[in-house]
């Protein structure tokens, strides 16, 4: 039996420890509870963030690296920030993985699991992680900028990294040559690298047996949209739903030149034989990955088990106004992770994006839905499957307070889905922010299905079971929690009152 004094001391210290844990938890909630802070999208604790980098699954952990300025809230000193997750929703931010060094910034790239130690970097007979990134040396005086491809490796599950002493491994002596995505080609039993030639509106493919020695094997482009510069290329294979066949998707960002201004992303559907990508569609056809203004440089996770659907995440922002967003002490957030597939439609095979299955676990309570609702929070999901009947337009005004609201609607005659954020709240920081953004959506019948996900300062809309996706930022004022449904009939010019269509409204819990 413990002496009474010892017992009391142990109880006292245990109490202090418990209070410390509770205090830390309260502090964390406060840190992630600013008015515009996303509650279930990843955002860094502080400072600037842009493109996702090096998305990879390894030994039960998802790794999210990202373009990060560890010194402030604006772009600069680009390094690789780092966060890990067990479920793609709850993230733990770790120290900077790859810092700017010797005047060379760490631009976008990818990470692979070197299962068989092809690189020679792995130790102890175990697989290791190898990052392939663009090293960016800014212009200085008469000397132009330089972008090269480089390696770093980790033998402790991505916690510490060593840069390859013989970097760079690929140097074309170009100022714009960036954003490598690397994967293992089963057809050729070698590594494949796809990288952007931004000014030429092309991507170039390379092959390597060991991640160190690279040989050019083909190019693709120009094709589709060619405004601005091409960036952030991706190449991956997906099954076509309902068929025993697959297609390859080549995705590329462009900035400026996005469909609705600023940065945006397009994709091509085709075949890849391990050497060359062949586009199935005319070069003039442009397919957009996201019809909103705020989804850029979306990348897929390497290293997923073979039975897993590919998963993609993007930077939820636009270069038109990224540096002006009214958020602090952080600036930048990621989209929800999205499960990918392909579907055969009347117009051809198209990319399908839906929130990952685990997202449903964030639902807490189902809320009653009437024609007008005051929500208890600004983190919610609204799912709708509605027969339009005679209506020529229906919509939902979200995050309402007085003359502040954001509208999500569908105009049947025009065949467009739209998000109107011109009255959404704080938007005066950029002339390019207030806008009505439209996406073509012709329905085969009269049934409209929408999955609308709101997280304080963002709205993601997945229409027709993921065939059309729209991602947009917004900054509503305090107390803007209202939701209202409207319908415009076949002949009437005014908004009609009435009960909302069949829908489910869910409150979503925070990951913090």
The answer for residues whose C-beta is within 8 angstroms of residue 462's C-beta and 6 or more apart is 353, 354, 355, 450, 451, 453, 468, 469
Contact 118, 211 (CB under 8 A): yes
In 3D, which of 461, 478, 458, 477 has the Cα closest to residue 469?
A: 461
**Helix/strand/coil for 13:** helix
Neighbours of 249 (CB within 10 A): 25
82-109 burial code (b ≥16 CB/10 A, e <16):
bbbbeebbebebeeebbbbeeebbbbbb
Distance CA 277, CA 438 (A): 31
The answer for residues whose C-beta is within 8 angstroms of residue 185's C-beta and 6 or more apart is 191, 192, 207, 274
Distance CA 379, CA 509 (A): 7
Distance CA 97, CA 187 (A): 32
Dig out the tokens for 262 from the structure.
């600023």
Contact 289, 265 (CB under 8 A): yes
Q: Is 307 left (phi over 0), alpha (psi -120 to 50) or beta?
A: alpha
Cα dihedral: 310, 316, 318, 323 (round 10): -140
Distance CA 43, CA 34 (A): 12
Any idea which residue has 């330089």 for tokens?
A: 146
Distance CA 250, CA 252 (A): 7
Distance CA 455, CA 380 (A): 7
**Helix/strand/coil for 226:** coil
Cα dihedral: 186, 191, 197, 201 (round 10): 0
259-281 burial code (b ≥16 CB/10 A, e <16):
bbebbbbbbbbbebeeeebebeb
Catalytic site residue from 51, 114, 420, 455 = 51
Contact 379, 399 (CB under 8 A): no
Distance CA 148, CA 341 (A): 33
51 is catalytic: yes
Neighbours of 496 (CB within 10 A): 11
Give the catalytic positions in this structure. Answer: 51
């Amino acid at each position: 039996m413990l002496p009474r004094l010892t017992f009391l001391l142990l109880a006292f210290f245990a109490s202090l420890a418990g209070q410390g844990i509770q205090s830390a938890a309260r502090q964390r909630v406060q840190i992630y509870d600013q008015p515009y802070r996303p509650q279930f999208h990843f955002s860094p604790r502080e400072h600037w963030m842009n493109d996702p980098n090096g998305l990879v699954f390894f030994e039960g952990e998802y790794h999210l690296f990202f373009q990060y300025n560890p010194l402030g809230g604006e772009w600069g000193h680009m390094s690789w920030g780092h966060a890990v997750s067990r479920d793609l929703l709850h993230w733990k931010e770790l120290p900077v993985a790859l810092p700017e060094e010797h005047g060379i910034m760490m631009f976008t790239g990818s990470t692979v699991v070197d299962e068989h130690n092809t690189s020679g970097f792995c130790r102890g007979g175990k697989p290791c992680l190898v990052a392939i990134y663009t090293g960016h040396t800014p212009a200085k005086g008469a000397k132009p900028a330089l972008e090269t491809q480089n390696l770093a490796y980790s033998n402790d599950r991505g916690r510490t990294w060593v840069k390859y002493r013989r970097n760079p491994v690929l140097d074309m002596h170009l100022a714009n040559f960036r954003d490598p995505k690397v994967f293992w080609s089963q057809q050729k039993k070698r590594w494949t690298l796809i990288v952007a030639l931004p000014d030429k509106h092309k991507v170039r493919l390379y092959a390597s047996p060991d991640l160190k020695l690279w040989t050019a094997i083909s190019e693709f482009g120009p094709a589709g949209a060619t405004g601005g510069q091409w960036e952030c290329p991706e190449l991956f294979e997906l099954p076509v739903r309902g068929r025993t066949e697959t297609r390859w998707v080549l995705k590329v960002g462009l900035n400026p030149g996005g469909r609705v201004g600023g940065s945006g992303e397009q994709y091509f559907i085709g075949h890849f034989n391990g050497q060359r990508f062949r586009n199935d569609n005319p070069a003039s056809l442009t397919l957009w990955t996201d019809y909103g203004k705020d989804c850029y440089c979306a990348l897929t996770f390497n290293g997923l088990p073979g039975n897993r659907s590919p998963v993609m995440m993007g930077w939820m922002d636009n270069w038109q106004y990224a540096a002006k967003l009214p958020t602090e002490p952080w600036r930048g957030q990621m989209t929800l992770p999205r499960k990918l597939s392909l579907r055969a439609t009347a117009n051809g095979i198209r990319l399908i994006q839906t929130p990952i299955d685990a997202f449903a676990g964030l639902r807490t309570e189902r809320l009653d839905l009437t024609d007008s609702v005051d929500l208890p929070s600004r983190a919610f999901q609204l799912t709708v499957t509605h027969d339009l009947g005679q209506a020529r337009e229906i919509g939902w005004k979200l995050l309402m307070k007085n003359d502040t609201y954001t509208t999500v609607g569908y105009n049947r005659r025009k065949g467009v889905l739209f998000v109107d954020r011109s009255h959404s709240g704080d938007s005066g920081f950029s002339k390019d922010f207030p806008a009505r953004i439209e996406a073509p959506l012709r329905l085969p019948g009269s049934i409209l299905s929408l999955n609308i996900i709101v997280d304080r300062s963002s709205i993601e809309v997945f229409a027709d079971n993921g065939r059309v996706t729209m991602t947009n930022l917004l900054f509503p004022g305090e107390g803007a929690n209202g939701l209202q449904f409207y319908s415009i009939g076949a002949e009437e010019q005014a908004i009609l009152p009435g009960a909302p269509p069949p829908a489910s409204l869910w409150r979503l819990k925070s990951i913090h």
